[in-house]
Amino acid sequence: MLDIKFVRENPEIVKQNIKNKFQDRKLPLVDEVIELDKRNREIKQEVEALRALRNTTSKQIGKLMGQGKREEAMKVKEEIAKAGEQIDALTEEERNVEEELKKRMMVIPNIIDPSVPIGKDDSENVEVQKYGEPVVPDFEIPYHTQIMESFNGIDLEAAGRVAGNGFYYLMGDIARLHSAVIAYARDFMIDRGFTYCVPPFMIRSNVVTGVMSFEEMDAMMYKIEGEDLYLIGTSEHSMIGKFIDQIVPEASLPLTLTSYSPCFRKEKGAHGIEERGVYRIHQFEKQEMIVVCKPEDSPMWFDKLWQNTVDLFRTLDIPVRTLECCSGDLADLKVKSVDVEAWSPRQKKYFEVGSCSNLGDAQARRLKIRVAGEDKRKYLAHTLNNTVVAPPRMLIAFLENNLQADGTVLIPEVLRPYMGGKEKLIPNK
């Protein structure tokens, strides 16, 4: 959410930003916000003037009564009563105006960074750099669920009976591999100075609206019926929510946290054949990283965060690339975002395995996360987040890139301590 003062003073910048994000339907909101803001400030002035008048006039009543001027005193009382009625009416109008103002402000997109490429959707994202040599082996690589089935490692049929489409049972070595990757990612981030955290897996509605746009919320979140609770779509939601209504001492910044959680997502819409199996699902687990920092430090942390993911994937012998997300592919709260994509030798292309985002002060403004500077001045923090790993999608890249012609899967050296020392997985069939 933008600063209302910024919108008031820079309406054309806000409108151009909306155009850059190809959301022209939102252009009228800017003028509506400016009018509502103007009326809101007028109401406050009127109420302040009426209260001052009421206070001044109230003092006259005692004097008039003391002078025996009862009739004049009663007239003054009537004026005070009318002023009170006006104040009540204006206060009610103020509540309504502020509610409408906030409603519109919440859907005006954040100002994107000048470096963000302008484009309509993810088809116009820009490749930044490749890491590792993508290889296509001289043998056929089966679909990822077929690889898992060769190890008796997945049961989609049973999951369908129990929970429906979009769920899975991971079994045996594949389940162990899943847990090993999560544990390795946890330790990888701890070694890079991040504090490990396991957060709540449900959050209240005020946290949900504080960390994401309404469009994201509708497309992603599962609501707990009868309670003011939502299942998290990623641990970033509850991790940033941890600091709601807090004033953080500047000396404690940056706050660097890495968190484990299950994630729950509606995943609305139809998807292509490559998104069957465990690619796009309603439940998965993830290791995440978040940073709360000073505004001037957020660009530096942004680059550090996506680099962490690249480095981790390279230790697992998985080629990756980074993509700069274009303006039309950025969620409304994001200032800048980079996707990390892993190489799929079966598809002969890259696919997304993580996303790094700088949200500027948007989440901090909504959640009232402030920093107390050494000079006692308070200002809004900047927040960032990034995926470390999110199996089972990450497992697709791992299995395809480490699969051998005989059906075995090599275990990279860094992962062997988490797999009981195993150097490779041997198929059961």
In tens, the pLDDT along 157-173 reads: 999 999 998 899 999 99
Q: Which fold has domain 122-425?
A: BirA Bifunctional Protein; domain 2 (3.30.930)
pLDDT of 82: 82
Report the C-alpha gap between 83 and 87 in whole angstroms: 6
pLDDT of 228: 96
Q: Are 277 and 157 in contact, with CB atoms under 8 Å apart?
A: no
pLDDT tens by residue, 306-359: 999 999 999 999 999 999 999 999 999 999 999 999 999 999 999 999 999 999
Q: Are 356 and 331 in contact, with CB atoms under 8 Å apart?
A: no
Please report which confidence band the pLDDT of residue 394 belongs to, taking 50, 70 and 90 as the band edges: very high
CATH fit for domain 4-105, picks 3.30.450.270, 3.40.50.1010, 1.10.287.40, 1.10.460.10: 1.10.287.40
Give one word for 286, left, alpha or beta, with left for phi > 0 and alpha for psi -120 to 50: beta
C-beta atoms surrounding 336 within 10 Å: 22
Say yes or no to pLDDT of 53 above 90.
no
Please report which confidence band the pLDDT of residue 78 belongs to, taking 50, 70 and 90 as the band edges: confident
Say yes or no to pLDDT of 215 above 70.
yes
Say yes or no to pLDDT of 274 above 60.
no
Q: Are 135 and 345 in contact, with CB atoms under 8 Å apart?
A: yes
Query: Residue 271, exposed/middle/buried by CB under 10 A (0-12, 13-18, 19+)?
Result: exposed
pLDDT tens by residue, 64-73: 676 777 777 7
Q: Report, as an integer, the average pLDDT of 403-410.
A: 97
Q: Beta 424-425 vs 409-410: how paired, if at all?
A: antiparallel
pLDDT of 144: 95
Please report which confidence band the pLDDT of residue 1 belongs to, taking 50, 70 and 90 as the band edges: confident
User: Angle at CA 83, nearest 5°, toward 81 and 85?
Assistant: 70
Say yes or no to pLDDT of 422 above 70.
yes
pLDDT of 273: 41
pLDDT of 69: 73
pLDDT of 270: 43
272: nearest Cα among 347, 189, 366: 347
Q: Are 232 and 203 in contact, with CB atoms under 8 Å apart?
A: yes
pLDDT of 72: 75
Q: What percent of the chain has pLDDT over 70?
A: 96
- Same fold: 4-105 with 122-425: no
Say yes or no to pLDDT of 178 above 60.
yes
Q: Where are the domains of the chain?
A: 4-105, 122-425
Report the C-alpha gap between 77 and 54 in whole angstroms: 10
Report the C-alpha gap between 13 and 111 in whole angstroms: 9
Report the C-alpha gap between 235 and 258 in whole angstroms: 9
Give this prediction's pTM.
0.90
Q: Are 38 and 57 in contact, with CB atoms under 8 Å apart?
A: no
Report the C-alpha gap between 216 and 268 in whole angstroms: 11
Q: Which helix (H) or strand (E) holds 384?
A: strand 382-389
